Structure 1
Amino acid sequence: MSAGRRAPVVAASGAGTNSTAMIIELVRRGEIPEMTLLAAMPEQPHTRRLIPVFRQWMDDHGVPNEIVEYQARFFKHWPPYTSLLDACLTNGTLPSIAFGRHSCSARHKISPQDKWVKAWPPAQHAWANGRKVVRLIGYDCSSRDNQRYAHREGHVSDLYEYRYPLREWGFTREDCERIIADAGLPSFCKSSCFFYTAMQISEVRALPREELRLIVLLEARAAPRLRTVEGLWRKSTKKRPGSMTAFIRAEGLLDPDEIDEIIATAPPDLLAFQRAAAAVPIEQRDHISTWIERFNAGRACVSLSINNPDDLSRAA
């Protein structure tokens, strides 16, 4: 049925197991949503690898899909920035979840999807005719999602009607994993930023060195303003410190000299980059991603010199 004859349907994809299974099952049932939106986030490496795989699957099965990204509007004297990583480095802070708040998801996931839908003609037509847009959310029937659903149950919006297909079908996490496997797709794990406060010890151990360095940078940049938390993990427990940097150091995931150098030199260099940006008109400022790319490239060279000095001399 076309979007003009019914309320348009938009699926929210989080690039994890549940939303992926939801979309696959919708396709199997012949209920393809008019649009599937995926918010760009600094995901863990396994999720970044799977996003293009599943987008290709959606393309092959006639599922319209778009990636949306938060766009800051007022940069003041800062370089332009977009992602959650950009925002934290720009403002010298940690994600709000590290302080017990939950505004990251609202700003960087929900907000860009809302903005996209508001400019979408089928949604505009529906609202103009007194109908709502149907938004599909991938909560399943497992205990964790039961809690998440309980927080949203009864939520009323003037613009959206919320549906939870996995719950309507009685699907559990195990059902979602089976659906993905039956579709011939690789396993989709939990989707989260690589510096998410709920990251498990094993997940941090598995991160590539580039992400580990960025974690050290994030905590170093935010350190002068931290009063109530130790770092991205908030508080120390019996199993790990509150600072991911301290864990990375204790586990030997990065060379201690490299960690010390990042802490000592990277934040001042970023501040110098910001001061330079403040001196030029906004349209002439480099995006903060250019500084991050430079940081990553420089750290890769430093790491090579620390671990394989002979290789570095040959490369030169």
Structure 2
Amino acid sequence: MTTAPAVPASPDAALVTFSYGGGWQSTAALALAARGDLPFTTFLFANVGDDSEHPATLRYLAEHAAPFAAAHGITLHQLARTRRDGSTETLYGRLTKPGSRSLPIPVRMSNGAPGTRQCTADFKIRVIGKWLKAHGATAEQPATVGIGISVDEIHRANNRRCEPHERIVYPLLDLGIRRADCPRIIRAAGLPVPPKSSCWFCPFHRLTAWADQRRDEPELFAKSCALESLLNDRRAELGKDSVWLTRHAAPLAEVVSTDDVLPLDFSDGTCDSGWCFT
């Protein structure tokens, strides 16, 4: 694996930043930046809400990523979505707001197909974009934004919409880094490997992830079931069909086995490797 600096920043770039999501790839990028192998000194973490991000991700950020970044001269900003009145909006808060009809997460419809996914755009891409523009990024002078997509997920590079004020680069691709390389890079930097990064209620979870949550985090699993029930109660009032947090068109508590061992399920989603460009 080469350790030469990856795609250099545009000479006209107002800012050079990296979008940090707390997962394996972006933490590996943080470790590489700390040792001078990537040209990023500003990392941006778009927090979709302390009530929405998985608690383990927030603990890792506070206990490991942020202190590590500070010790190596890297700025790690934690950003949040703010309303016009200055208050903070969270993804879970939007979903559970009394009277809300908003359904921004990719819940599974009755036929198993995912619904519209607006959460990444609203709570990550636009949040980071707002910060970039506030710090000088424009269409004429775009910010360079690094995204932590690895070689084995190269197809995801085409799924990230590029805004006029940003220039997207994929430094892990340029270095030939695969997801499987990331734990070694992270440990070599003296960091523990972070947990998988996602919202705790993400419908892209595999059944194995839901089973882990039910076994290891029963209170969080109960909260996931309650959220699914709340969404369906509201849809029933509107005369709409039910939606689900898995593709199996049944309540989460019925779908997820209570057994310790489940057959592998690789078709239930992709939110265990940083689908939200993390």
TM-score (normalizing by structure 2)? 0.73
Question: For residue 151 of structure 1, what is the aligned residue in structure 2?
Answer: 159
Retained in 2: the 8 A contact 1:141–1:167? yes
Question: For residue 137 of structure 1, what is the aligned residue in structure 2?
Answer: 147
Report % sequence identity: 26
Question: For residue 219 of structure 1, what is the aligned residue in structure 2?
Answer: 228
Closer/same/farther in 2, CA of residues 252 and 222 from structure 1, 3 Å limit: farther
Paired residue total: 231
2:168 is aligned, of 144, 149, 162, to: 162
Quote the offset at 1:156 in angstroms.
Answer: 5.2
Question: For residue 275 of structure 2, what is the aligned residue in structure 1?
Answer: none
- Residue 231 (structure 1) aligned with residue 244 (structure 2): yes
Does the residue aligned with 2:127 lie in a helix, a strand or coil?
helix
Quote the offset at 1:51 in angstroms.
Answer: 1.3
Retained in 2: the 8 A contact 1:219–1:245? no
2:44 is aligned, of 37, 56, 66, to: 37
- Residue 63 (structure 1) aligned with residue 74 (structure 2): yes
- In the alignment, the residues of structure 2 paired with residue 87 and residue 33 of structure 1 have an alpha-carbon distance, to the nearest angstrom, of 33
What stretches of structure 2 of length at least 5 have no aligned partner? 1-8, 108-113, 261-278
- Residue 192 (structure 1) aligned with residue 198 (structure 2): yes
- In the alignment, the residues of structure 2 paired with residue 221 and residue 72 of structure 1 have an alpha-carbon distance, to the nearest angstrom, of 24
Does the residue aligned with 1:33 lie in a helix, a strand or coil?
coil
- Residue 244 (structure 1) aligned with residue 252 (structure 2): yes
2:218 is aligned, of 209, 222, 232, to: 209
Quote the offset at 1:178 in angstroms.
Answer: 1.2
- Residue 110 (structure 1) aligned with residue 125 (structure 2): yes
Retained in 2: the 8 A contact 1:134–1:161? yes
- In the alignment, the residues of structure 1 paired with residue 83 and residue 254 of structure 2 have an alpha-carbon distance, to the nearest angstrom, of 32
Retained in 1: the 8 A contact 2:225–2:251? no
Q: For the aligned residues, what is the CA RMSD?
A: 2.8
Retained in 2: the 8 A contact 1:69–1:108? yes
Q: Which amino acid aligns with 1:179?
A: I
- In the alignment, the residues of structure 2 paired with residue 64 and residue 50 of structure 1 have an alpha-carbon distance, to the nearest angstrom, of 16
Q: Which amino acid aligns with 2:61?
A: I
Question: For residue 268 of structure 2, what is the aligned residue in structure 1?
Answer: none
Closer/same/farther in 2, CA of residues 186 and 86 from structure 1, 3 Å limit: same
Retained in 1: the 8 A contact 2:41–2:73? no
Retained in 1: the 8 A contact 2:231–2:243? no
Alignment of 1:61-100 (within 5 A): 61-73=72-84, 82-90=89-97, 91=100, 94-98=103-107, 99-100=114-115
Retained in 2: the 8 A contact 1:94–1:218? no
Closer/same/farther in 2, CA of residues 160 and 166 from structure 1, 3 Å limit: same
Does the residue aligned with 1:67 lie in a helix, a strand or coil?
strand
Does the residue aligned with 1:43 lie in a helix, a strand or coil?
coil
1 or 2 for the larger relative contact order (CA 8 Å, sep ≥6)?
A: 2
Closer/same/farther in 2, CA of residues 38 and 73 from structure 1, 3 Å limit: same
Closer/same/farther in 2, CA of residues 228 and 72 from structure 1, 3 Å limit: farther
Quote the offset at 1:25 in angstroms.
Answer: 1.0
- In the alignment, the residues of structure 1 paired with residue 241 and residue 120 of structure 2 have an alpha-carbon distance, to the nearest angstrom, of 22
- In the alignment, the residues of structure 1 paired with residue 183 and residue 55 of structure 2 have an alpha-carbon distance, to the nearest angstrom, of 19
Closer/same/farther in 2, CA of residues 220 and 157 from structure 1, 3 Å limit: closer
- In the alignment, the residues of structure 1 paired with residue 102 and residue 251 of structure 2 have an alpha-carbon distance, to the nearest angstrom, of 14
Question: For residue 23 of structure 1, what is the aligned residue in structure 2?
Answer: 30
